[in-house]
């Protein structure tokens, strides 16, 4: 899979070298990522632009929609793939001048991200991120080199990973390498210094206990995550109650983001918002949603301060599920 600066995305079969399909995209300077993003058998393609815009394609090249990032991003380098929130589905891991940002394939920002500023100078450029997840799902974290010469790492909670940052006069343009470099069964992280030196850190973690995205572009620069994620077990709960909430809450200006998670594909999710008197004050709807985390933004500039109730209903064939959450608005 390859993407060109002019937005052209190409699928090639390597043996023998054959053009499978070629599509045009509105995204320029984009990176392709290939994985089973939705837990349904088969692979999908995500195209990530330098400013964070996302375009989605089926493995056959059928366009499946696009999203603009909910936060402003610039200067994204080659992104990584990994299940950083430990929900069984891979996320798109990016590092931009504004910070480390993680996205769901659905277009929603992963909880606890973006993390703190990635670089010390807004004109600087961070290095491509790496990713590590323990196979027992006890821990996951991303790492990247900033233009300040430090290696930063953040875990699934968006918190700085213990032992980081690492100092070694790192060059951000020189990508990190994560793997069992010396063959002792323990993971190491390697990075080139600005003075031509090589830095090598022993992470003290057995390589057999982890799955990693160990270099820019993934293994052999395939930009693909194959067989490394935990396949979600389909549950009877179409839309888990504990994963339906709004943030910020209370909300003072702008919009309240109504977030929910789906265990399987649904035809429609309808959000109806009522005031304390039972009057309908807002309605949001999305159709044909994939499994995973989703968000809808409710604009609050035209409603008065007070408490509101949002009824979130997911419909999948004859199966439906609704949850009611409270949203406080304070102007």
Q: How do residues 195-229 score in pLDDT, each as one tens digit?
A: 777 889 999 999 999 989 988 777 655 667 765 44
The pLDDT of residue 230 is above 60: no
The pLDDT of residue 171 is above 70: no
Q: Does residue 303 lie within any of the structural domains?
A: yes
Q: Which residues pair with 103 in a beta bridge?
A: 92, 109
The pLDDT of residue 314 is above 50: yes
Q: Residue 220 in 3-state DSSP?
A: helix
Q: Does residue 252 lie within any of the structural domains?
A: yes
Mean pLDDT of the chain: 87
Phi-psi sector, 136: left (phi>0), alpha (psi -120 to 50), beta? alpha
Q: Return the top range by mean pLDDT from 7-11, 126-130, 212-216, 327-331.
A: 327-331
Give residue 69's pLDDT band: very low, low, confident or very high (50, 70, 90). Answer: confident
79 and 178 in a single domain? The answer is: yes
Q: Residue 308 maps to which CATH number?
A: 2.60.40.1930
Q: Does residue 185 lie within any of the structural domains?
A: yes
175 and 28 in a single domain? The answer is: yes
Q: Does residue 176 lie within any of the structural domains?
A: yes
Q: Does residue 231 lie within any of the structural domains?
A: no
How large is the average pLDDT for residues 100-129? 78
Better pLDDT: 44 or 70: 44
- Output the six-digit token pair for 176: 């990190």
Tell me which of 136-150, 165-179, 254-268, 289-303 is least confident: 165-179
How large is the average pLDDT for residues 266-280? 97
151 and 271 in a single domain? The answer is: no
217 and 247 in a single domain? The answer is: no
Task: Give the model's pLDDT for residue 222.
Answer: 65
Buried b (16+ CB within 10 A) or exposed e, 271-300: bbbebeeeeebbebebeebbbbbbbbebeb
Q: Does residue 235 lie within any of the structural domains?
A: no
Give residue 50's pLDDT band: very low, low, confident or very high (50, 70, 90). Answer: confident
| Rounded percentage of the chain residues whose pLDDT exceeds 90 | 51
Q: Does residue 112 lie within any of the structural domains?
A: yes
Question: What sign results for the dihedral spanned by CA atoms 145, 149, 155, 161?
Answer: positive
267 and 221 in a single domain? The answer is: no
The pLDDT of residue 122 is above 60: no
157 and 12 in a single domain? The answer is: yes
Task: Give the model's pLDDT for residue 220.
Answer: 56
Q: With beta carbons less than 8 A apart as the criterion, state whether 110 and 84 touch.
A: yes
154 and 193 in a single domain? The answer is: yes
Sheet with 2-3: strands ordered across:
2-3, 8-14, 17-24
Q: Of the candidates 192, 225, 258, which is a domain's last residue?
A: 225
Number of domains in the chain: 2
Q: Of the candidates 225, 250, 280, which is a domain's last residue?
A: 225
Task: Give the model's pLDDT for residue 233.
Answer: 47
Domain residue limits at 291: 241-329
Q: Does residue 192 lie within any of the structural domains?
A: yes
Q: Residue 107 maps to which CATH number?
A: 2.130.10.10
- Burial of residue 23 (CB within 10 Å: 0-12, 13-18, 19+) is middle
Q: Of the candidates 225, 255, 280, which is a domain's last residue?
A: 225
Better pLDDT: 109 or 121: 109
92 and 141 in a single domain? The answer is: yes
211 and 323 in a single domain? The answer is: no
Better pLDDT: 300 or 171: 300
Task: Give the model's pLDDT for residue 228.
Answer: 45
266 and 155 in a single domain? The answer is: no
96 and 134 in a single domain? The answer is: yes
Give residue 75's pLDDT band: very low, low, confident or very high (50, 70, 90). Answer: confident
61 and 131 in a single domain? The answer is: yes
The pLDDT of residue 35 is above 80: yes
Give residue 306's pLDDT band: very low, low, confident or very high (50, 70, 90). Answer: very high
């Amino acid at each position: 899979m390859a993407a060109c600066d002019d937005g052209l995305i190409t699928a090639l079969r390597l043996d023998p070298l054959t053009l499978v399909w070629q599509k045009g995209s509105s995204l320029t300077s984009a990176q392709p990522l290939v994985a089973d993003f939705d837990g349904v058998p088969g692979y999908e393609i995500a195209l990530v632009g330098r400013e964070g815009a996302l375009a989605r394609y089926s493995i056959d090249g059928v366009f499946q929609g696009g999203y603009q990032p909910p936060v402003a991003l610039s200067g994204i380098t080659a992104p990584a793939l990994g299940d950083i929130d430990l929900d069984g589905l891979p996320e798109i891991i990016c590092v931009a001048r504004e910070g480390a940002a993680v996205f769901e394939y659905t277009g929603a920002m992963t909880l606890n991200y973006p993390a703190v500023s990635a670089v010390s100078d807004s004109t600087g450029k961070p290095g491509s991120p790496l990713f590590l997840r323990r196979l027992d799902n006890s821990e996951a974290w991303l790492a990247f080199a900033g233009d300040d010469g430090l290696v930063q790492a953040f875990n699934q909670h968006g918190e700085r990973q213990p032992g980081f940052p690492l100092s070694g006069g790192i060059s951000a343009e020189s990508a990190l390498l994560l793997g069992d470099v010396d063959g002792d069964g323990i993971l190491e992280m390697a990075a080139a210094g600005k003075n031509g030196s090589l830095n090598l850190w022993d992470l003290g973690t057995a390589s057999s206990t982890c799955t990693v995205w160990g270099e820019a572009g993934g293994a052999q620069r395939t930009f693909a995550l194959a067989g490394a994620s935990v396949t979600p077990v389909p549950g009877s709960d179409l839309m888990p109650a504990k994963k339906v909430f709004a943030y910020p809450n209370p909300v003072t200006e702008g919009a309240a983001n109504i977030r929910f998670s789906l265990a399987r594909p649904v035809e429609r999710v309808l959000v109806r918002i009522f005031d304390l008197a039972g009057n309908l004050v807002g309605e949001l709807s999305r159709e044909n949603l994939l499994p995973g985390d989703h968000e809808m933004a409710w604009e609050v500039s035209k409603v008065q301060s007070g408490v509101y109730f949002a009824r979130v209903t997911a419909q999948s064939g004859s199966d439906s599920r609704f949850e009611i959450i409270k949203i406080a608005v304070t102007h």
